[in-house]
Amino acid sequence: MRAIHCLLLLTSLAFTASPRTEAATYRIDPNHSTVVASWEHFGFTRTVLQFSALDGQVVYDPANVGKSSVDVRIPFSGLLTGAPEFRDHLASSQFFDADKFPEARFTSTSVQAAGTGKLKVVGNLTLKGITRPVTLDATLNKAGMQPMARRDAVGFSAKGVIRRSDFDMGDYAPNVSDEVELQIFVEAIVPRTDP
């Protein structure tokens, strides 16, 4: 019985370990990361899309945030609209042209501290083969042990705005707003080192 108590104590300590204080590379968890895009539709409502199955990595250095970076790929196979006909419309050459350009990609060029737990992430977004600079206001949600994976993890939320016309997708503007609001939710985990 005493051995069981010791084992439970050790397990508890393992899951309450302090967050990393040194830089680490984390793999984006496609099951718990998403991008939400929304825009005004003729003033009647906001259209909302979700992109899942994100792939990529986050390098996070809590001691020197400027050495942090993000590289994420957003496959259009993960585009969710809830309406198949609308999804096909967006995947067409008029908009994402998903057959020719199957993914979007964001690669950071700089990361700066912007207050406690806040970051300003500047980078390049590539859509339809067109690359434009984008600035994201990010929040560190949590850094620590992910209890299901039993590995260190980080979680971030971010917001930004892009223009459809910057990526040759500006049809119907201004009735359909050119500006698209982005909300990004990312959980990333240190990859396993064992085979």
Q: Which pLDDT band holds residue 194 (cuts at 50, 70, 90)?
A: low
Q: Which pLDDT band holds residue 124 (cuts at 50, 70, 90)?
A: very high
Is 149 contained in some domain?
yes
Q: pLDDT tens-digit profile of 18-27?
A: 456 789 999 9
119 neighbors 65 (Cβ within 8 angstroms): yes
Domains in the chain, number: 1
Q: pLDDT tens-digit profile of 140-158?
A: 999 999 999 999 999 999 9
| pLDDT at position 118 over 50 | yes
> Phi/psi zone of residue 4: left (φ > 0), alpha (ψ -120 to 50 degrees), beta?
alpha
Is 36 contained in some domain?
yes
Is 125 contained in some domain?
yes
In the block, residue with structure tokens 């993960």: 78
Looking at the DSSP assignment, which residues form a beta bridge with residue 98? none
Is 2 contained in some domain?
no
Is 194 contained in some domain?
no
| pLDDT at position 74 over 90 | yes
- The boundaries of the domain holding residue 137 are 19-189
| pLDDT at position 2 over 80 | no
Looking at the DSSP assignment, which residues form a beta bridge with residue 157? 139, 185
Is 5 contained in some domain?
no
| pLDDT at position 71 over 60 | yes
pLDDT at 21: 72
Name the helix (H) or strand (E) containing 87: helix 84-91
Mean pLDDT of the chain: 90
Is 42 contained in some domain?
yes
Tell me, what CATH number does 73's domain have?
Answer: 2.40.128.110
pLDDT at 19: 55
Query: 42 in helix, strand or coil?
Result: coil
pLDDT at 192: 85
| pLDDT at position 8 over 70 | no
Is 30 contained in some domain?
yes
